[in-house]
Homo-oligomer: A and B are copies of this chain.
Amino acid sequence: MEAIFYSKISDLLGLIKAKRPLVHHITNYVTANDCANIVLAIGASPIMADDMEEVEDIVSLASALVLNMGTLNKRTVEAMLAAGKKANELGIPVILDPVGAGATTFRSKTAERIVNEIKLAVIRGNMSEIKSISGLGSTTKGVDASEQDIAQSEDLKYGKSIAENLSSRLNCVTAITGATDIVSKGGKTLFIDNGHKMLSAVTGTGCMCTSLIGACCAVTKDYFTAVAAGILTMGISGEKAYEKLISSDNGSGIFRVKLIDSVFQLTGKDLEERGKVREG
């Protein structure tokens, strides 16, 4: 994409730091801490709250709502639905991460209830999850991107058609992340080639990407650009994190630390120099 595109994203990231919007998460206990820290690193303010007694109140204070289906249970599913409906009433964007959709009936049905009962601004998943929600067969094995997913996402034409169809059906931005990320809405599609394979060696990088998208959606109504901004932030930060490693000290533990650092330090110049976004 031309410079104007990256400059728009850079402005959006500046707006997050200026406004510090509150991003309400109903999410899993495995990656909640990383999601909170990455939301702080991009300049927004996270709040995790999942009880029926308060989710409507919390989301009313927020500028975006992230629903993440990891470690879901009956109690939190009800909270997700209540919070989502309240967000819809108030015009607050809802971002769904359908973790593990397709892996179990419970997850698939929960994803179905959410997309049926709530107007989403964004849905972001890996190929298996998005295929499952699209009613296509899925090969979901775990919650972390499998090599199979990555191979499938290389089939970009196929991925693009799935993203376009789901986007059209749900009237929301659809993102399929993998080796190449696909972002689609209203017939417009982007491919993003940033990222690093080490990202799949750390748990929750998908969740964190969704949280970054949440932070970006909190400051603009242009959710398409917001999704690209969130994914680009994650991808470029993954690249920068890997470059910071030294050969004798290049494990997934320190990579995860430097990933948060890289989000914290990301500049408009990084976006321009490193961004690999093209029309799909």
A residues engaging B (CB < 8 A)? Answer: 20, 22, 28-34, 36-37, 40-41, 45-51, 53-54, 57-58, 61, 70-75, 100, 103-107, 141-144, 146-147, 201-204, 244, 249-254, 256-265
Q: Are the CB atoms of B252 and A261 closer together than 8 Å?
A: yes
Q: Are B258 and A253 in contact (CB under 8 A)?
A: yes
Which chain B residues lie closer than 8 Å to A57 at the CB level? Answer: 103-106
Question: Is B46 in contact with A142, judged by CB distance below 8 angstroms?
Answer: yes
Per CB-CB distance, the 9 closest pairs between chain A and chain B, nearest first, are A251-B261, A253-B260, A57-B104, A251-B264, A36-B203, A54-B106, A29-B29, A51-B73, A54-B104
Residues from chain B with a CB closer than 8 A to the CB of A252 are 37, 40-41, 260-261, 264
Q: How far is the CA of A181 from the CA of B231 in the complex (A)?
A: 38
Evaluate contact between A265 and B251: CB separation under 8 angstroms. Answer: yes
Given contacts A46-B142, A142-B47, A251-B261, contact A53 B30 (CB under 8 A): no
Q: Separation in Å of the A12 CB from the closest CB of chain B?
A: 20
A204 and B260 CA atoms in complex are apart in Å by 15
Q: Are B30 and A48 in contact (CB under 8 A)?
A: yes
In the complex, the answer to whether B202 meets A37 with C-beta atoms within 8 Å is yes
Knowing A54-B104, A202-B40, the reply to whether A254 touches B249 (Cβ < 8 A) is no
Contact of A264 among B30, B71, B253 (CB under 8 A): B253
CA distance A20 to B54 in the complex (A): 37
Query: Which residues of chain B come closer than 8 Å to A204, judged between CB atoms?
Result: 33, 36
For the complex, what is the distance from the CA of A32 to the CA of B103, rounded to whole Å? 20
Determine if A253 and B257 form an interchain contact, defined as CB atoms under 8 angstroms apart: yes
Once bound together, how far apart are the Cα atoms of A85 and B103, in whole Å? 20
Minimum Cβ distance to chain B for residue A40 (Å) = 6
Interfacial chain B residues near A244, Cβ < 8 Å: 249
Query: Smallest CB-CB separation from A142: which chain B residue?
Result: B45
